[in-house]
Structure 1
Amino acid sequence: MGSACKDVREEVIQAWYMDDSDEDQRLPHHCDPKKFVSLDQLSELGVLSWRLDADNYETDEELKKIREDRGYSYTDLIEVCPEKLPNYEEKIKNFFEEHLHTDEEIRYCVAGSGYFDVRDRDDAWIRVWVKKGGMIVLPAGIYHRFTLDTDNYIKAMRLFVGDPVWTPFNRPHDHLAARKEYLEAFVQTGGGSHAVDAAA
């Protein structure tokens, strides 16, 4: 196999630093030159990811095990597209407001695709492109936002520990315990000091 062992997750989840243009939020917004971010680097920010079998999500043993291990007792499905989501324009605008939650945000893309943007330790935006089969967990307290890509469609499973609470706290909400705990766990520890060169 050699050392070029490919991370299969990268077939359904890719991440890169964003440019600062204010063009359509649904465009990729790559820097020039492109600056990709590995899924290991994302995990240093607390963002976890899996590649799952989206064609069999109802019976997938791996998903079942993740749910048991992490206590995700609640699930539902949401379709985000102009035809299926009531108040689509308003919702899309709200999703793209920078915010945090006091619980994890767990999203499993079972069809379509979309962008989850997260802040790195220096407050730069990283765009995480999640496609069919990709599942990500954003930790409580991380500032983030969501938008569709130019295909304008995602069908995602939302998972939750206990009863779902979808309350977004738009930035700034640095006084919340969840934000302080996030900073202590992932930012102030300097866990990124051993980050590899993105070009490696």
Structure 2
Amino acid sequence: MVKIYYYKEDDSPMTAPHDSGEPVAAEELEKLGVFYKYIDSQASVDNLATERQYKNRDYITLDGATFPGGEEALNAKLDVFFNEHIHEDEEIRYIIDGTGYFDVRDNNDRWVRTLVEKYDLLILPAGIYHRFTLTDDKFVKALRLFKDEPKWVALNRIDGNTESNEFRKEYFASLSS
């Protein structure tokens, strides 16, 4: 079963669990617009992709042992992924192997951490503040799905332009409906 909890702010590395001991129910993720499902067959993933009209896909492997440029380059990439940001498209990840953490902001601006493992599928709505990192194992292989052409534009919250973004506004409006 998926592990979801409030993120504990401390000085440990981002790849540490940061488990506050305060669990979060999967229903709370749903209220934030986050879709989670355990899917143990590629056919079921393909069916979901068809249902949700995902037209493109690719695979990503993040591995401390084989990442181009070595572990230092992987850590630099993780620093980018860990910057709080939004996308103007859904972010869909199906974990084929390995583990990672997706953090999303709740309505009280607290981080909610979800440990994703093999066969976990997570869909983050456009406009939600989030970030990603690996676990201390520093390995994940994931399928990424896209509604259209793969588009990777992260709008970082720290830049100050996200609150006026139309997708952020639409996401925020969806929470009150």
TM-score, length of structure 2 as denominator length:
0.92
Provide runs of 4+ in structure 1 moved above 6 Å: none
Find the partner of 1:183 among 159, 172, 177.
172
151-160 or 63-72: bigger deviation: 63-72
Task: Give the 5 Å matches for 1:126-141.
Answer: 126-141=112-127
* Residue 63 in structure 1 maps to residue 45 in structure 2: yes
What's 1:80 paired with?
Answer: 62
**Percent identity of the aligned residues?**
38
What's 2:155 paired with?
Answer: 169
What's 2:19 paired with?
Answer: 30
76-85 or 40-49: bigger deviation: 76-85
Task: Give the 5 Å matches for 1:119-158.
Answer: 119-158=105-144
CA drift of 1:19 comes to 1.1
- How far apart are the structure 2 equivalents of 1:161 and 1:140? 12
167-176 or 80-89: bigger deviation: 80-89
CA drift of 1:162 comes to 1.0
* 1:50 maps to amino acid: K
* Residue 18 in structure 1 maps to residue 4 in structure 2: no
What's 1:40 paired with?
Answer: 27
76-85 or 128-137: bigger deviation: 76-85
Alpha-carbon displacement from aligned partner over 1:139-193 (angstroms, at most 9, x marks no partner):
000000000001110000000001010110000311110000000001x44xxxx
Unaligned runs of 5+ in 2: none
Alpha-carbon displacement from aligned partner over 1:41-60 (angstroms, at most 9, x marks no partner):
1010000011111xx42xx2
* 1:178 maps to amino acid: F
TM-score, length of structure 1 as denominator length:
0.82
CA drift of 1:90 comes to 1.7
- How far apart are the structure 1 equivalents of 2:117 and 2:172? 28
Root mean square deviation, CA, Å:
1.2
What's 1:106 paired with?
Answer: 92
What's 1:194 paired with?
Answer: none
CA drift of 1:38 comes to 1.3
Find the partner of 1:118 among 93, 104, 108.
104
